[in-house]
């Protein structure tokens, strides 16, 4: 499985073996990512498209051209389904990622940068499009070692990163703060809190455990505050089922359910953080027993 990373930036500037273009069936350039790639890559890409794809390309299929003036070596073009026009078969969207990786293997490309296919003018619901991308790439049998999912907007980047950490959680080191998050609490039933749990796990994957619980609590509380935008103590006196106790974060919204994207600060103040502190205390007690 390739290492998948979320990237905030411009796909046309990615220094990889191949960048993927969200093309249309005519394969003659267009708007959005397609227009940006043709514009920055220059006329060589269009000339190659005309020569290699005189009859265009079918939805779900992929093929390659030169990258022209782009820093990549190749452009892999794939045609996503047009959700707005009624093309709503998810397998077509998944085929775009699968076929693009197959073409990358034919080329010998080891690093590939993808946009979020079909999420622009084609209107595919973003959360499902991100999930389809991650699930398909993670399951692909490919020699590609690095895949970048490139988002040009900060909010989209955060959503890609949140879903990526659900499907492909990064490894955490032994004796790190991240290791406290290895097991999810059985109390989880709220989606936003589950996403935040995974984000904190990834943030602290390499952070050594501090020497005291107060420092640990400060680390975790500060991180939560950075994500949600307000102190953990602001709403801790409210019951978890109070709607005003929840903070909606779009990046944690999987696209369905009334509680989608909701982070409940009282749960973190009275349940989530205490669970982590209890695990920390148990580790310290165990270490003390081993030393004695």
Q: For 189-221, what is each residue's pLDDT tens digit?
A: 667 888 999 999 999 999 999 999 999 999 999
Contact 62, 76 (CB under 8 A): yes
Domain ranges of the chain: 3-167, 177-291
Looking at residue 239, what is its pLDDT? 77
Q: Say how far apart CA 108 and CA 248 lie, in whole Å.
A: 43
CATH topology of domain 3-167: 3.40.220
Looking at residue 187, what is its pLDDT? 67
DSSP structural state of residue 211:
S
Phi/psi at 125 (nearest 5 deg)?
-50, 125
Strands (DSSP E) contained in 24-73 are: 62-66
Looking at residue 192, what is its pLDDT? 85
Looking at residue 183, what is its pLDDT? 86
Looking at residue 292, what is its pLDDT? 54
- Which is it for strands 74-79 and 62-66: parallel, antiparallel or unpaired? antiparallel
Looking at residue 107, what is its pLDDT? 98
Which residues in the chain come in under a pLDDT of 50?
A: none
Set 10, 17, 34, 105: catalytic member: 34
Question: Is 253 noted as a catalytic residue in this protein?
Answer: no
């Amino acid at each position: 499985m390739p290492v998948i990373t979320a990237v905030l930036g411009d796909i046309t500037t990615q220094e990889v073996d191949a960048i993927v273009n969200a093309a249309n069936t005519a394969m003659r350039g267009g708007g959005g990512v397609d227009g940006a790639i043709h514009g920055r890559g220059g006329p060589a890409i269009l000339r190659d498209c005309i020569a290699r794809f005189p009859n265009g390309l079918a939805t779900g299929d992929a093929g390659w051209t030169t990258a022209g003036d782009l820093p990549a070596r190749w452009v892999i073009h794939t045609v996503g389904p047009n959700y707005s026009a009624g093309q709503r078969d998810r397998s077509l969207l998944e085929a775009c990622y699968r076929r693009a990786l197959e073409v990358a293997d034919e080329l010998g490309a080891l690093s590939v940068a993808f946009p979020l296919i079909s999420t622009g003018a084609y209107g595919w619901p973003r959360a499902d499009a991100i999930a389809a991308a991650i699930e398909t790439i993670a399951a692909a049998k490919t020699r590609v070692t690095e895949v970048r999912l490139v988002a040009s907007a900060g909010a989209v980047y955060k959503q890609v990163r949140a879903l990526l950490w659900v499907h492909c959680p990064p490894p955490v080191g032994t004796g790190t703060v991240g290791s406290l998050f290895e097991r999810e609490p059985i109390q989880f039933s709220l989606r936003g809190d589950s996403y935040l749990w995974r984000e904190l796990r990834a943030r602290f994957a390499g952070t050594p455990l501090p020497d005291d619980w107060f420092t640990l609590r400060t680390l975790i509380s500060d991180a939560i505050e950075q994500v949600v935008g307000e102190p953990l103590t602001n709403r801790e006196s409210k019951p978890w089922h109070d709607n005003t106790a929840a903070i909606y974060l779009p990046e944690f919204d999987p696209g369905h359910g009334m509680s989608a994207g909701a982070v409940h600060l009282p749960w973190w103040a009275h349940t989530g953080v205490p669970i982590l502190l209890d695990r920390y205390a148990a580790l310290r007690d165990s270490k003390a027993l081993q030393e004695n």
